[in-house]
Chain A
Amino acid sequence: MKILLLCFGGWSSSILAKKIEDCLKGRNIEAKVSTAPLEVGMSQMKDCAAVMIAPQVRHMSSAMHDLSKKTGTPVLDISMQEYQGLNIDKLVDRLLESIKAV
């Protein structure tokens, strides 16, 4: 399962990506959570199980949601609180729900 976490350069979110991946592993779910710039997310969306949007690029959120209607990939907005990675379990719950809903 491939999950993309999108921000500006794909660098600032790597800590959070690692946390999500570890949390999924703890639940026996093998997933590759990578960070990427928005543009990469746009072109690779169809190959992903889900795409997550960091709060600092949330101005692109509606464009990404529009795009996801075409590909059927769930798009998840991360809130500023979630982005700090303090309550990772809740975020992962939300992620899994959105994947299941498809």
Chain B
Amino acid sequence: MMDRLNKWLEQTFLPVAGKVASWRYMVAARNAFFSSVPFILLGSIPLIIGFIQIPGWDAIVEPYLGKLLNGTNMTMGLLSLWIALAYGYSLAQSYDLNPLIGGMTSLMGFLVVAAPMRDGALSASYLDGTGLFTALLVGTFAIEVYRFFTVRNITIKMPPSVPPAISASFAAILPLLTVLLSLEIFSNWLELDIPGLIMQAFTPLVTAGDSFFAVVFLALLVSLLFYLGIHGWAVVVGIVGPIEMANIAANAAAHAAGEPLPHVLTEPFFAAWGSIGGTTAAGALVLLLFFCKSKQLKQVAKLSAIPSFLVNIHEPVMFGAPTVLNPYFFIPVVFVYPLCAATTWIAMNLGWVTKPFIYVPWSTTMPFYPYLATGGDWRAVVLMLFNLALALAIYYPFTKAYDNKLLKEELALEE
């Protein structure tokens, strides 16, 4: 029965995962996401310094808070700007177009609709996470226009004696002009608030992303892919990553303004309270392996401990035990992660634990990760430990059964 289930899962999910993940726009979005990570990371630091939970600290920091938070505004606060540039660069590269020209065209297109110049100033209101979807849509438009002109060879022809760098910049003029004019009609002449309209259109999606159903479903999907031995986040990060990033930037802005934090769907939401020792709470499994009797699992425990406990990497245990397509581990690997998402969602929505507003990389050692991501909320650590206990309880019977089976096989071999 399990064999048939395994086969069905592989044949159903693998090709779809491959199609989705290798889709050109998805690759470009992933690239844009990864290249923006350092900016988000850096932008979190002033938030940590500005809001250290020491009595009296707020009074000391108060006079400098505005200047301090400028570091956040210039990095995290310009998220859509970085995304527009990186997405255009990467998409152009995938078409074998000049990536730098592509990135600049995309960035210009984004600025034309999101921050048209008025009285000598660009408005920054859509340059943060709120302009994210605009950046991706305008970037796609800009690069497709660039490609259209290049593929059809519609360019201003230069005599062959002109150096290639100069003729390349002339080749960019017509697509650039097309992007500029077509977007200016709406943003400048009709004075339409395009990012506002796009945001309205996507609001249901972003709101739905914070719902109980969405986070549990997402965790379930990622877990299923991990059961197949596929890095689940690698498949969905093109869609989910930018949204998570915009959400954490919105949470950071709300925190700095002293308002309630709007979003739960962020990278730490899954990583700090679910990926304990690696996605699918694999750290719980590694812990249990140390108490196993079979030689194979003892060996795997030793090899997996450091990557799992120190940097939340669980590939060694995933391929070593292995948990991949292993019927013994189907239930814990597929269901522990969604369960962690469920408890975390409940705890955050009841206000028991602060929603994450500081971007900390997923490789941060437990228990510092949940503590830092929530700006130093000790209850976040309690929740992580609760989820770990839950994971231990669910992994335990299956690990024991598997250990007994391996032990029997090892003994039979020795005889």
The chain A residues found within 8 Å of chain B, CB to CB, are 7-8, 11-13, 15, 37-39, 42-43, 54-63, 80-81, 83-84
Contacts and interface: CB of A to CB of B under 8 A. Distances in A.
Summarize A's interface: helix, strand, loop or mixed: helix
B229 A12 contact: no
Contacts, number: 67
A59 B311 contact: no
Contact of B234 (A8, A15, A62): A8
Contacts of A11: 311, 313, 363
A80 B21 contact: no
A39 B234 contact: no
Identify the 9 closest CB pairs spanning chains A and B, nearest first. A63-B22, A59-B17, A59-B18, A56-B231, A8-B231, A8-B234, A12-B315, A80-B319, A39-B31
A56 B319 CA distance: 9
Contact of B315 (A38, A59, A83): A83
Interface residues on B, range: 20 to 34
13 contacts: A8-B231, A12-B313, A13-B315, A15-B307, A39-B30, A55-B229, A56-B230, A57-B231, A59-B21, A59-B230, A63-B18, A84-B316, A84-B319
B188 interface: no
Given A11-B311, A83-B315, 9 more contacts: A11-B313, A37-B34, A42-B27, A59-B21, A62-B22, A63-B21, A80-B324, A84-B316, A84-B320
Interface of B: 14, 17-18, 21-22, 27, 30-31, 34, 90, 93-94, 229-231, 233-235, 303, 307, 311, 313, 315-316, 318-320, 322, 324, 363
Contacts of A13: 315
